Structure 1
């Protein structure tokens, strides 16, 4: 037992930093398969749009394995998918965590003149133009020397840190992706502000103080 645990510790420690890569490795193949299934279900009139398959649970998809499908199955699944799609759209602008809770944790003492405050996650001071980036579809907005302002960041966002002069996020703490990556790239970071993407606007000139955890108008 001990030797097996020791072997696993030695082997799996080497891929600790690559866990996201291995976890996501099958996603493209799975997505391709689900898209194809969605197209077939759409062609058979069971769902309205091929991408509606993502609003169905695996058990519901498996229920269609019998062909022809049970009577009214198409109508039932179509209604389920549309209901979930509407629900997701209604929640698209709502945060998963009440911003007021984040502010209780991350707000610094009143800092005179600060537009937003948060956790000082990476030291340094930078001045630049705000670019609000909410997801991968907006990565193209960032230019060299801009201030990256985002709800959060993940490993997929890492290339942006080579371009940004500083990063400011709504969520996160000292060990969040934004904080760790900013320190690795040597740029200032203020995280856990709770409302940076709402207070700051595209085109604003700001000064990010990574020592105090504050963002000022430049």
Structure 2
């Protein structure tokens, strides 16, 4: 396997590092059903990586029901945080984090999610001490697919974006990584797989174990 070394890893959170997309879908579906509409997995895939507020706005636009974005975003966040203890890391996440630490590769969590959500997940898995940087959707002007989150994450680590590897499960995130000038590793699953990643990713792999091998961090 061809490998590419990187000085730092810029990691998405939901669906990449943490197996949270099923929980997100369940909560989003309940939110729509309470208003008489059905939110499907295909609907959810179109919003991957864009942040919760954008997802809720998309629901209102698609189905035509009234929204209070501040109130509704807070409601969905509260439901997620109530259940954060049920989440698990994705296969290969622990091994990849361990290998990066051992080989002195920088680590940043770079998520479009709100700071409160990211904080809850970071605390759930004890990640804070392992990360050199945490960048959330509230820390930048433009969310993915704009490159802002990854450019800021690289800057906070003190590593040029071109020498960083972005790991993403969403097309919006992979597009952001490409726009930032980073190496892009796509790790999509389910309905997201095969949705244009070949245009923006250097490689598309099945899990974080494979991503680590491609980066030369895991055997």
TM-score bracket, shorter-length normalisation: 0.3 to 0.5
Q: Which has the higher strand share?
A: 1
RCO higher in structure (CA 8 A, sep ≥6): 2
Q: TM-score w.r.t. structure 1 length? A: 0.33
Structure 1 or 2, whichever has the larger Rg, is 1
So what's the TM-score if we normalise by structure 2? Answer: 0.33
